[in-house]
Structure 1
Amino acid sequence: MTGGTLQQTDVETLTHWVGGSGLAGTSGRFAEVTDPATGAVTATVPMASAEDADRAVAAARSAFPAWRDTSLARRTRVLFRFRELLDARAGELAAIITAEHGKVLADAAGEVARGQEVVEFACGAPHLLKGSATENASTGVDVTSLRQPLGVVGVISPFNFPAMVPMWFFPIAIAAGNCVVLKPSEKVPSAALWIARLWAEAGLPDGVFTVLHGDRTAVDALLTHPDVAAVSFVGSTAVARHVYETGTAHGKRVQALGGAKNHMVVLPDADLDVVADQAVNAGFGSAGERCMAVSALVAVGGVADALVERIAARATALRTGDGRRSCDMGPLVSAAARDRVTGYVEAGVADGATLVVDGRSTPVDADGAGFFVGPTLFDHVTTDMSIYTDEIFGPVLSVLRVDTYDEALALVNANPYGNGTAIFTNDGGAARRFRTEVEVGMVGINVPVPVPAAYYSFGGWKGSLFGDTHAHGAEGFHFFTRGKVVTSRWADPAARGGTGGTGVDLGFPRNV
């Protein structure tokens, strides 16, 4: 239930985090937070009103001047302290992620570790924010460039990575001198509050990091608020388009990362056992709820039969259940997500695809009525089927068959998404050609999930990205700052009392 007024007495009631402490909402609207492995309601989270958003932004705006003027050395000390605290207590955060999202603990720990990489990258802010200088660019004139923070920035994050995706953005934004208002998914709100308390323990001043819970009301409030300078978003393509169009229409800098349909191309010379392992890892990890999950495997030149057999054997051997137990794959995040995925499975069967492994009947190791769909494998999928055209966001892997490399490349490039792709081959020339010709932003060569290291930038092409700046890396620092160039002249002390050699000249200044 989202947006209704709840009467709950046996579960925790969460708050926003504003000005360094918890703050109750004013809307009277709440959403239920569930444990997806059991279906039990564990908390209620307030849905922000426009007034709540105003208070959150005002607190961040009030904190900005002092944080902007804090030296880079002091800012960096706070980041290092946050990094050390996160490193010591990462297990706590992973447990929160598993309890609200459902992914197994090992996967949640990996998420935290990848977010930590961006924190560590942001600790290099003094170097990454360096400007440049040219002495005597013109006679007696020096030119310097510098980068300055934007002010209050919004981060709107999805449910599938409650820690890692926010950490793609807020460490860099804070290191650069901005104040952040984080709007986490209402399905997984507790990780954001845990992070806010960790920032406070690390010594971050009140108001520099704010958590605003909510739904579209909160999102639109950040997109239209006059004191919010920029917004980062990760989510579905439809919402990413709305975020980009609304934010830019209100004069904001926006980076909106949208949906995906990631292909794994398998050439005939590839090691099929390695491919099968990696297809299972990339297709079914985190129950397929990753924007970089492989959902379409393109088998080239007659390898499909042997490959499908290998993938099916591995998929049926996976253990599905409560992520806190000894399982390989956990539940989907909600009942609605489960029903959506099973609906696509039914559609695939109706469209004529061959259902090799049916995750709807997978036995699960869990208590209660959790939101489970086991690994699901389709063969003989064609590009007009909904299981191919749509982003299912679940553990459904579709195998498409083509005869040649050129057909495989054309199939990938014709897709409206361009987030991630991979090719598996032992032919270096074919891999190099694919790297050059494929129209996708992140490419793996014998790597199924090519998420770049933190010092590179994350982002796709085409319908997978709105805006021209990717997440983290050097582009992240560029997004959260704006450039300024200063041109200066100082009179020679020996020439004081005169014009300094400038005189009156109405012509356009030239560098001489």
Structure 2
Amino acid sequence: MSPIDFNLFCNLIDGRWVPPEGGAHRRNTNPADLTDVIGDFPDSDSADVDAAVAAAARAQEEWRERGPIRRAGILARVQRILAERATEVAAVITREQGKCLSEAQGEVKRSLEILDFTRGEARRLNGITTPAEDARTVAFTFRRPIGVVGLISPWNFPLAIPVWKVAPALLAGCTAVLKPSPLTPLTSALLVGMFQEAGVPEGVLNLVQGDSEPGKALVSDPRVAGISFTGSPGVGLAIQESGAGRLLKTQLELGGKNALVVLPDADLDAATEAIILGAFGQAGQRCSATSRVVVDRAVRDDLLTRVVARVSRLTVGPGDDLATDVCPVITQQSMETCLRAVARAQSDGATVVAGGGAAEVDGRAGFYVQPTVLRDVPWDSEIAQEEIFGPVLSVIDADGFDDAIRIANSVKYGMSATVFTRDLSSALEAVHRFEAGMLHVNRPGVGAYAHLPHGGTKLSQYGPPECSPEVWDFYTEWRSACVTY
């Protein structure tokens, strides 16, 4: 891997890489090996945000007038640059976030697909013409960018989620300030550097690193017309409350507690593979992760036997080891959250049938958790209701189809839901009755395609979804015009 450019350890404001105004920094380390220090990155404050928003505001009119087809040329160049550096970027993601190299490579691929889809939308950002009530009059609608947007992204997909925020924001004609997670600053800096190399004008895309203070400053700045946020429900609700007084436009993706339902006629081998991928891929650190399996009692034991056998063959280790199946979690706090949740689940009556504790990995100082399976989990217990964000799977018994759907829908979230069955009627009925935004039948319940809406229901989502034509309803607003001639 080529040496890391020193500029990437700064903020990017108005086209220039600059240190934080207050001089504070945060150390970034590899979660698989705490002796591996990646670097010290800005711990920015409101002064940095003020400068970034001011730059975005100055650049907004000229960028808007460039038009979507010309703006798409920037995305095309970013797509080409990222494709050329895919190997290097994937290695950085693995080192910084911890996920397996194959998962990081998959994230780069997904990011390229999002760029490809988004730039293709440039020729479809259209409105409609409609009959007028008056003679010699043309009536039509069109979209306009909302202005400066704040993009607040999480650490679990440090490349793909910034891509699916930045790309549509810029194509729509907005200018942006990206505030990534302080846990994965380097990946976001690499991405913004690619946009700069691709020729994005000064001030159009700005990067401010740091923790909560720059995020709060973005939300409270009256020059910011919209906030796109992916993260925890607590922070998302705080953003909504803070911006309500000025009718701040928001797009909030706030997590999930996703169920995979297994009916008696299911292909249990296929269901097992989907469960393993959904529950333990990326150490369960996905908003669409399979954290609950709701299984009919008639096949519960057969399914558990298969799942436990597969878990026993999983290897926990660093993401850059090709033999690793389950990577570390992101922080010490994340690891402790997983272990406490398992202990409380046992107090609530659940039984650990695989894993259950921290994992030792060749004496490495990292945040490793054993892939854990719990059976006899009460459907309304804490572990069955609350998001853990780790490699912990709850198996919940159901008495028939209706009970399984009830349990699947019993949580406050509604991100993803999956059913395994050979019966077409049951499959379509489940799709109809699931209270979730992304639905799957006989396939893993994680993710979707770049052109499909990424979003949920209930506490999982507020505002237009991402990764689809529907995203324009966040970054643009409608105008209607009547022209008499």
TM-score by length of 2: 0.95
Aligned residue for 2:431?
Answer: 435
Write the distance in 2 (CA, Å) between the matches of 1:142 and 1:109.
Answer: 50
Alpha-carbon spacing, 1:137–1:370, altered in 2? closer, same or farther (3 Å): same
- Contact 1:230/1:252, CA 8 A, preserved across alignment: yes
1:336 to 329, 333, 336: 333
CA RMSD of aligned residues (A): 1.7
Please state if 1:128 is matched with 2:124.
yes
2:190 to 190, 194, 200: 194
SS at match of 2:409: helix
Write the distance in 1 (CA, Å) between the matches of 2:122 and 2:277.
Answer: 38
Write the distance in 1 (CA, Å) between the matches of 2:321 and 2:220.
Answer: 44
Please state if 1:247 is matched with 2:243.
yes
2:135 alignment partner AA: T
Aligned residue for 1:348?
Answer: 345
Aligned residue for 1:146?
Answer: 142
- Contact 1:248/1:254, CA 8 A, preserved across alignment: no
SS at match of 1:455: coil
Aligned residue for 1:76?
Answer: 72
Alpha-carbon spacing, 1:464–1:434, altered in 2? closer, same or farther (3 Å): same
Aligned residue for 1:476?
Answer: 471
SS at match of 2:270: helix
Query: How far did 1:255 drift?
Result: 0.8
Cα deviation per residue 1:70-121 (whole Å; 9 max; x = unaligned)? 1333212211111111112122221111111100111011112222222111
Please state if 1:316 is matched with 2:312.
yes
Write the distance in 2 (CA, Å) between the matches of 1:160 and 1:69.
Answer: 35
Write the distance in 2 (CA, Å) between the matches of 1:347 and 1:33.
Answer: 31
Please state if 1:461 is matched with 2:454.
no
Unaligned runs of 5+ in 2: 1-5
Query: How far did 1:244 drift?
Result: 1.8
- Contact 1:20/1:207, CA 8 A, preserved across alignment: yes
Write the distance in 1 (CA, Å) between the matches of 2:359 and 2:333.
Answer: 18
Aligned residue for 2:155?
Answer: 159
SS at match of 2:357: helix
Write the distance in 2 (CA, Å) between the matches of 1:383 and 1:135.
Answer: 55
Alpha-carbon spacing, 1:202–1:404, altered in 2? closer, same or farther (3 Å): same
Alpha-carbon spacing, 1:12–1:484, altered in 2? closer, same or farther (3 Å): closer
1:385 to 381, 384, 400: 381
- Contact 2:8/2:17, CA 8 A, preserved across alignment: no
Please state if 1:271 is matched with 2:267.
yes
- Contact 2:8/2:189, CA 8 A, preserved across alignment: no
1:473 alignment partner AA: S
1:369 to 342, 365, 372: 365
Aligned residue for 2:3?
Answer: none
2:15 alignment partner AA: G
Write the distance in 1 (CA, Å) between the matches of 2:447 and 2:192.
Answer: 26
2:340 alignment partner AA: G
Write the distance in 1 (CA, Å) between the matches of 2:176 and 2:331.
Answer: 28
2:398 to 394, 399, 402: 402
Write the distance in 2 (CA, Å) between the matches of 1:288 and 1:249.
Answer: 36
1:23 alignment partner AA: V
Query: How far did 1:132 drift?
Result: 2.4
Tell me which moved more, 45-54 or 259-268. 45-54
Aligned residue for 1:494?
Answer: none
Which 4+ residue blocks in structure 1 deviate beyond 6 angstroms?
none
2:10 alignment partner AA: T
1:23 to 18, 22, 40: 18
Please state if 1:303 is matched with 2:319.
no
SS at match of 1:453: coil
TM-score by length of 1: 0.90
| Larger Cα-atom Rg | 1
Query: How far did 1:139 drift?
Result: 0.6
Query: How far did 1:28 drift?
Result: 3.7
Query: How far did 1:422 drift?
Result: 0.3
1:311 alignment partner AA: V
SS at match of 1:39: strand
Aligned residue for 1:47?
Answer: 43
Alpha-carbon spacing, 1:248–1:87, altered in 2? closer, same or farther (3 Å): farther
Query: How far did 1:150 drift?
Result: 1.3
Aligned residue for 2:164?
Answer: 168
Aligned length in residues: 478
- Contact 2:149/2:224, CA 8 A, preserved across alignment: yes
1:342 alignment partner AA: L
Write the distance in 1 (CA, Å) between the matches of 2:45 and 2:88.
Answer: 30
Write the distance in 2 (CA, Å) between the matches of 1:92 and 1:251.
Answer: 41
- Contact 2:68/2:123, CA 8 A, preserved across alignment: no
Aligned residue for 2:220?
Answer: 224
Write the distance in 2 (CA, Å) between the matches of 1:13 and 1:429.
Answer: 53
Please state if 1:34 is matched with 2:43.
no
Aligned residue for 1:497?
Answer: none
- Contact 1:13/1:43, CA 8 A, preserved across alignment: no
Q: Alignment identity in percent?
A: 36
